[in-house]
Amino acid sequence: MQRGGTILVVEDEPDIASLVRAYLERDGFRVVWAERGTEGLQALEQHDVRLAILDLQLPDTDGFDLCRAIRACSRLPVVMLTARDEEVDRVTGLELGADDYVTKPFSPRELVARVHAVLRRAEPETDDDVLVAGDVTLDRRSRSASVAGVDVELTAREFDLLWHLAERPGVVVGRERLLERVWGLSFPGGTRTVDVHVAQLRRKLGRPDLIRTVRRAGYKLVPG
């Protein structure tokens, strides 16, 4: 995986932004800092950004709207940074396409570790793998999915979840295992997050029987 690159930090508290920048730069990243959502969107047009860290509460908008704007035109990995620790906020951010969620106060070392974990999932070292499950095709090189030859737009997290299940067709994978493998580290969103993403995948793929629920055990992919 490529080391370094540019990280966009959209955070209106200078002390927190400076701390995050110091740890990211120490780890080899270049950091672009924006205090407002509008400045963050401008920075995305001006810089080749590998990942964005978005504060949930900004002076001119909130991180949800900013994440939604990014997802409308990009698969850029996104980490949400917030002082709010409510499950509904975590689930909302992840449903909008955020790749991880860090609650203040946080350890800057853990944040950097989460950045690396998200980048590992978004930029796999093996970039020419293709998986086929029935009429669903996944291409990890382009991180794209198609059903019967028709492209389907998936968030980065949805793609990772489907890929992990497709690697093990017919094998039941527990929710906790999926949280660990797909979300990485100790994710606070709980197993409901997995259920939400599976429901989204079923709806987007139009193949409700592709991912089967195994009661009290987890999920398994059944190509059919």
Summarize pLDDT for 107-145 with one digit per residue, the tens. 889 899 989 888 877 765 544 478 888 899 999 888 899
Query: What are the domain boundaries of the chain?
Result: 6-122, 130-221
pLDDT on residue 32: 95
100 or 204, higher pLDDT: 204
- The DSSP letter of residue 180 is I
pTM for the full predicted model:
0.57
Least Cα distance to 101 among 65, 67, 143 occurs for: 67
pLDDT on residue 104: 82
With beta carbons less than 8 A apart as the criterion, state whether 50 and 28 touch: no
3 or 16, higher pLDDT: 16
Confidence of residue 184 (pLDDT cuts 50, 70, 90): low
Q: How far apart are CA 58 and CA 16, in angstroms?
A: 13
CATH class, domain 130-221, is mainly alpha
Most confident of the ranges 84-93, 177-186, 192-201:
192-201
Q: Is 170 exposed, middle or buried (0-12, 13-18, 19+ CB in 10 A)?
A: exposed
Angle 129-135-139 (CA atoms, 0-180°, nearest 5)?
Answer: 20
Q: How far apart are CA 94 and CA 217, in angstroms?
A: 23
Dihedral angle at the C-alpha atoms of 216, 155, 68, 32, nearest 10 degrees? 120
Dihedral angle at the C-alpha atoms of 122, 125, 129, 133, nearest 10 degrees? -40
Q: What would the two tokens of residue 162 be?
A: 């489907």
Query: Among the residues of 58-140, which ranges form H helices?
Result: 63-71, 87-95, 108-122
Question: What share of the chain in percent tops pLDDT 70?
Answer: 88
- The DSSP letter of residue 181 is I
- List, for residues 20-69, the tens digit of each pLDDT value: 999 999 998 999 999 999 999 999 888 878 899 999 888 998 888 888 88
* Residue 185: pLDDT over 60: no
CATH architecture, domain defined by 6-122: 3-Layer(aba) Sandwich (3.40)
Those residues with Cβ within 8 angstroms of residue 83's Cβ, 6 or more apart along the chain or in another chain: 56, 57, 103, 104
pLDDT on residue 190: 65
Report the half-sphere exposure of 51 (CA within 13 A, side-chain side). 29
With beta carbons less than 8 A apart as the criterion, state whether 219 and 211 touch: yes
Rg (the chain; Cα; Å): 17
